[in-house]
Amino acid sequence: MREKAEQCFRRFSCAWEIQKRDDRWRLKPCGKIRSNNSKDAEGQAIHTCWERRPAMSLERTAHPYIVRDSSIYGGEPIVEGTRTGVRHVILQFQSGRDPEEIANVHRLSLAQVYDALSYYYDNEGEIEHYIHNESWGTS
């Protein structure tokens, strides 16, 4: 099983690390970014890594599907497990799209879309600030 994990590791290069957990080998994201265009003397690709940002700090909100992650859009509210900001959902809703259509476009569940809408109506000033200032943060 370790050999299979190592083959996958080579395929994904430095984006993954091999870990043994519960007597099974698994690939897990290593949090590093691979460099490109590096080659050794034989012309084989060398994948050197450098650390990405420090571990993300996830902050829960009163809404079950909405969180803040300091490494995504500077900590503005997003739908958990995605990089979709609440403001992205709101902008599409305000432009006339149905919640079902928004869910399909962003690959969200209807519950996530309606929770983003609910978050907006509970925190209108904050989201309007993000919309008007386009504060993308450091994504």
Give residue-wise pLDDT tens across range 37-67: 555 556 555 444 433 444 557 899 999 999 9
Beta pairing partners, 85? 78
Domain with CATH 1.10.10.10 in the chain: 58-133
| pLDDT the model gives residue 42 | 62
Integer Cα distance of 91 and 105 in angstroms: 13
pTM attached to this predicted model? 0.58
3-class DSSP state of 35: coil
For residues 63 and 117, is the Cβ–Cβ distance under 8 A? no
CA distance 50 to 111: 38
Architecture of domain 58-133: Orthogonal Bundle (1.10)
Side-chain-side CA neighbours of residue 92 (13 Å): 19
Residue 100 has pLDDT above 60, yes or no: yes
pLDDT-derived band at 88 (thresholds 50, 70, 90) equals very high
For residue 76, the tally of other CB atoms under 10 A from its CB is 20
Helix or strand (DSSP H, E) at 111: helix 110-122
